Amino acid sequence: MSTKQTTPASISLPTYKEGAANPQWCPGCGDFGALSAYTEALRDLTNQELFGKSSWEAYRFAKPLLLPDGYCQKTFLGVAPHTIVTDGGIGCMGQFPQYVNTYAVKMPHGRLLPFAAGLGAMRPDLMIFGVGGDGDGFAIGAGHIANFPAWTINITYLIANNRVYGLTKGQTAPGSVRGTATKGTPYGSPRHQQNFIDIAIANGWTFVARIAVCGKTKDDFDTKKQAVEILKQAIVHPGPSIVIDETECPTYNKEITPEYLREHVVPIDALGPHNPADQNAASRLARVEIKEKKENIILTGVYYHAERESFHQYLGITEPLLFKRRNREEAKKLLNKFA
Ligand SMILES: Cc1ncc(C[n+]2csc(CCOP(=O)(O)OP(=O)(O)O)c2C)c(N)n1
Ligand code: SF4
Ligand SMILES: [Mg+2]
C-alpha cells in the first residue's frame, strides 16, 4: 500500500490503483476484468454518503455511529484504502491483492479464509475482500469454504472460475467441465464440474452470486455493470458473501473465450422473478444450468441473500477487540480462563 497520505476528497478510482504493481497476467486474462470491477465497486462505495457523512468521515466516527447496532454493518465503517484488506490465495487470481492500493496479504494455497476468520473476528471494522481461483477455493481450500461461513464473519470472497489451474500451466480444476483435455488429461478428464453456487448455499454463505465480466451480451446486457453492482451488494452484505466470477484463461483454456461467455451469460431475472431470500429456490436455480455441454446457459446475478446472526452479535461485541486496551492484570485473568 502506498504510504502517501490522501485527503478524503482525493479518494477516487485512481487512488485504488496508486502505487500498486502492474499486473503480470497474460494479455486478455479474465482477471483484469475482475480487478476493474472491484476497483469500481470500491470507488462507488467510497463516495457514498451515509448518515449524512461521507464514508471516509463515517470511518473516523464509526464508533459513536455504530455502537447501538453493533459492528455487523460492515458497509459503512468506511470504505477507503486504509480500511480495506485484500486477502489473496495462490494462483494467477491470487496475485490480485498486489494490484490494488489497499492493505494486502497473500496466504498459502487455499488458506485465505482462515486468515480472514482471525482478522474478521478481531477487526470487524475492516472490510475484508478475499480473492482466489477455482482451484484455490474449491480444491485445496474446499474445507474452508465449508467451515468458514458457520462463523458468520463478515467478508466478501471473489473466486475466479477460469476452469483451470492457470498458474501451474493449465491442469484441470474444480471448475473444469467433464471431458476437458489438458496435458495431464489428454483423453479428457472424467471428473464432473463442481457446482460452486450449490455448494456455497448449502454451506451457509449468506450472500451467493455469480458474475461474468465479458462486455455486452447479444441481448445488450452489460455484464460489467452487473458485476460492479453485485460486488457492491456483496461488500455491503453483513456476513459471509461469495461471488463466483466466470472468466477466461486465454493461455490454457481455449474453449472459454469472451465470445463464449457473452453467448451463454443470461441474467437470473431473464428467467422470471426469483426471490433470493428463498433458499430452496436458490438451490434449484443453482441446478438450472449444467455447463457440461456448450449450449447451456451461465446464469449471473444474486442467487441467495439471507440475514443471519453474526459472530459479533452473538458474543455481544460492539467494538473492535484490538481497539480495547487491557492492562496486564486484565489480560492475565482472561488468559487464565483458558488454563
Ligand atoms: C500447497 C500447495 N500445493 C500446490 C501448489 C501449486 N499451485 C500453485 S497455484 C495452483 C493452482 C491455482 O489454480 P487456481 O486456484 O484455479 O488459480 P488460477 O491460477 O487459475 O487463477 C497450484 C496447484 C501450491 N502453491 N501450494
Ligand atoms: S495463465 Fe491464464 S489465468 Fe494465468 S494469467 Fe495467464 S491467462 Fe490469466
Ligand atoms: Mg483457476
pLDDT over 90 (residue 91): yes
What's residue 241's pLDDT? Answer: 96
The 3-state DSSP class for residue 148 equals helix
Half-sphere exposure of residue 60: CA atoms within 13 angstroms, side-chain side = 6
Mean pLDDT (whole number) for 311-325 = 67
Residue 162 has a pLDDT of 98
Query: Is residue 188 predicted with pLDDT exceeding 90?
Result: yes
C-alpha cell at 339: 488454563
What residues contact residue 251 under an 8 Å CB cut-off, 6+ apart?
26, 29, 166, 170
Cβ pair 198, 188 in contact under 8 A: no
Pocket test for ligand 2, best of 92, 95, 245, 255 (most atoms within 8 A of CB): 92
Determine whether the shortest distance from the Cβ of 139 to ligand 1 is under 6 A: no
Reported as a pLDDT band with limits 50, 70 and 90, residue 114 is very high
Which segment of 92-96, 126-130, 141-145, 146-150 scores lowest on mean pLDDT? Answer: 126-130
Q: pTM score, two decimals?
A: 0.89
Residues around ligand 3, an ion, CB closer than 5 A: 133-135, 162, 173
Gyration radius (Cα) of the chain, Å: 20
The count of residues in the chain is 339
pLDDT, mean of residues 126-153? 96
Q: Is 81 in the pocket of ligand 1 (CB under 6 A)?
A: no
Sign of CA dihedral 302, 66, 72, 320: positive
CA 29 – ligand 2 centroid, Å = 5
Domains of the chain: residue spans and CATH: 8-336 (3.40.50.970)
Q: Name the closest ligand to CA 168.
A: 1
pLDDT level of residue 69 (50, 70, 90 thresholds) = very low
Which ligand ends up closest to the CA of 135? 1
Tell me what the mean pLDDT of segment 271-282 comes to: 95
Q: Would you tell me how many other CB atoms lie within 10 Å of the CB of residue 270?
A: 14
d(C-alpha 290, C-alpha 195), whole Å: 9
Q: What is the pLDDT of residues 152-176, one digit of tens each?
A: 998 999 999 999 999 999 999 999 9
Lowest-confidence segment of 71-75, 142-146, 225-229, 230-234 by average pLDDT: 71-75
Three-state DSSP at 301 gives: strand
What pLDDT score does 113 carry?
Answer: 98
Least confident range of 114-118, 283-287, 331-335: 331-335
